[in-house]
Amino acid sequence: MGDAKVANQVPGWIQAVTSDDLKRVAAKYLTVANRTVIDRKPAAMLATDTEKK
């Protein structure tokens, strides 16, 4: 089992994150090569699109 005191440390860890940390991680992971785009249309819109064809 883990140490219950860790729960009291989490807010400090979060507060220690800087804007530079966020920028660095975003630049590494939020890239065009790593993205997934989902174009979802509700069923009602699909029915309308099918009728137009």
- Taking residues 7-17, report their average pLDDT: 96
Residue 50 predicted with pLDDT over 70: no
In the chain, % of residues over pLDDT 90: 64
Q: Which amino acid, one-letter code, is at 29?
A: Y
Q: Convert 3-40 to b/e letters by CB count within 10 Å (16 or more is b).
A: eeeeeeeeeeeeeeeeeeeeeeeeeeeeeeeeeeeeee
Residue 22 predicted with pLDDT over 80: yes
**H/E element holding 19?**
helix 19-29
Residue 44 predicted with pLDDT over 90: no
Tell me what pLDDT residue 48 has.
66
